[in-house]
Amino acid sequence: MIEDRQSTAKEVSASLFFGTIFTEHMLLAEYKDGAGWSTLRIEPYAPFSLDPATAVFHYGQAVFDGLKAYRGHDGQIRVFRPSTYLERFNASARRMCMPALDLNEALPALIELVRRERDSVPAGDGMALYLRPAMIASEPFLGVRPAKRYIFFAIASPAGPYYDDEKPLRIRVEDRYTRAAQGGIGAAKTGANYAASLLATEKAHRDGFDQVLWLDGMRREYLEEAGTMNIMLRLGDEVVTPRLGGTILPGVMRDSVLRLLRDWGIPATERAVSVNEVVDASNAGTLREAWGTGTASGLVPIGELAYRSQSLVINGGVAGELSDRLKTALADIQYGRTPDRHKWTVLV
């Protein structure tokens, strides 16, 4: 692994930070208009050399995704829902006028990268090998049009928890800045969405919050995403989450949680959720739980929502029973402690 080009998986498993250490190999391919994709290949991890006029620097044609491989207590390595993540990657690429991958080639290549780096998959709950497939426009030119050349690559990073596992998040509802608008690129996993979120998030951090909860770009009323996560709320006996509509990333963890809830017979609804409804539910005592879902973060309980001058403390500021149950159920599948009824995992 690459951490000043020296650490080993066993040495860092106990104290991994997210996204700071990288394995020795990467997946790589190039695309040229008229010729298509080159053969996907595994090469040593190394920097790229790019012309200063390379299109990605000037016009932002770039997409990425993230998924994880887990080392089970049985010693087996499992990749969680890789086909679904690669399908989402392709959807992001199409939105950004970039060439899609052939999943019949990309999926085996990604699994082979995990196999090559299997010794770098850390052990222990909350630990995983985070996989980052990405694509950038690599043609050197100045002019506003889709590029004619691209680089696809995938790197791997042994990672621990994104957030403190023991501490529910404090989140500020952001009613000034917006992340996405209808007709825009909010449903694509592209760097511009994350760059747009930085200012509001940094201001929230300075005020003691962990993240921001975005509202819709038109009315500043309806819930969208919680930082880099989808959000879910337990209102009474029902779980609600903002419906997808082009401004919200279609989270794979979001989908997984909804399917588990429906397996258990728990009402789970995708619909518009206004911030005023959440405030009213808090005042009425029916806002029982809230949590975020994301690949990097996993399932993270939310202990407080701050909206303007109001502080909505949820479940006494501690994780709730349903979020705990969901988090355990997901981990049991990812680490192979329970049968994988949905066939979500791929053994390496």
**Tens digit of pLDDT for each residue in 1-28?**
544 433 444 444 556 678 789 999 999 9
What sign does the CA torsion over 347, 323, 296, 251 have? Answer: positive
Q: Which residues of the chain have pLDDT under 50?
A: 2-12
Task: State the helix-helix crossing angle for 103-116 and 82-95, rounded to 10 degrees.
Answer: 130
Domain boundary among 121, 140, 159: 159
Q: Give yes or no: residues 251 and 307 share one domain.
A: yes
Domain boundary among 98, 131, 159: 159
Q: Give residue 15's pLDDT.
A: 60
Q: Give yes or no: residues 179 and 41 share one domain.
A: no
Are the CB atoms for 25 and 42 separated by under 8 Å?
yes
Q: Give yes or no: residues 151 and 173 share one domain.
A: no
Q: Give yes or no: residues 132 and 212 share one domain.
A: no
Q: Give yes or no: residues 191 and 305 share one domain.
A: yes
| Residue at 39 is within a domain | yes
Q: Give yes or no: residues 139 and 218 share one domain.
A: no
Q: Give yes or no: residues 123 and 182 share one domain.
A: no
Domain boundary among 159, 188, 220: 159
Largest CA-CA distance found in the chain, in angstroms, rounded? 62
Domain span at residue 327? 169-334
Q: Give yes or no: residues 242 and 296 share one domain.
A: yes
Are the CB atoms for 83 and 103 separated by under 8 Å?
yes
Q: How many domains would you assign to the chain?
A: 2
Is this prediction's pTM over 0.85? yes
Q: Give residue 6's pLDDT.
A: 37
Q: Which of 298, 303, 301, 328 is nearest to 313 (CA)?
A: 303
Q: Give yes or no: residues 306 and 178 share one domain.
A: yes
DSSP at 325: H
In three-state secondary structure terms, 7 is coil
Instruction: Kindly give the pairing relationship between strand 268-270 and strand 238-241.
Output: parallel
Q: Give residue 3's pLDDT.
A: 44
Q: Quickly list DSSP for 88-118.
A: HHHHHHHHTT-PPP-HHHHHHHHHHHHHHTG
Q: Give yes or no: residues 151 and 42 share one domain.
A: yes
Q: Which of 190, 186, 66 is nearest to 128 (CA)?
A: 66
Q: Which of 298, 306, 300 is nearest to 319 (CA)?
A: 300
| Residue at 122 is within a domain | yes
CA distance 329 to 311: 30
| Residue at 344 is within a domain | no
Kindly report, residue by residue over 68-85, the tens digit of the pLDDT: 999 998 999 999 999 999
What CATH number is given to the structural domain containing 173? 3.20.10.10
Q: Give yes or no: residues 217 and 283 share one domain.
A: yes
In three-state secondary structure terms, 152 is strand
First-to-last alpha carbon distance for the chain, in angstroms, is: 19
Q: Which of 292, 102, 119 is nearest to 210 (CA)?
A: 292
Q: Give yes or no: residues 27 and 145 share one domain.
A: yes
Q: Give residue 13's pLDDT.
A: 54
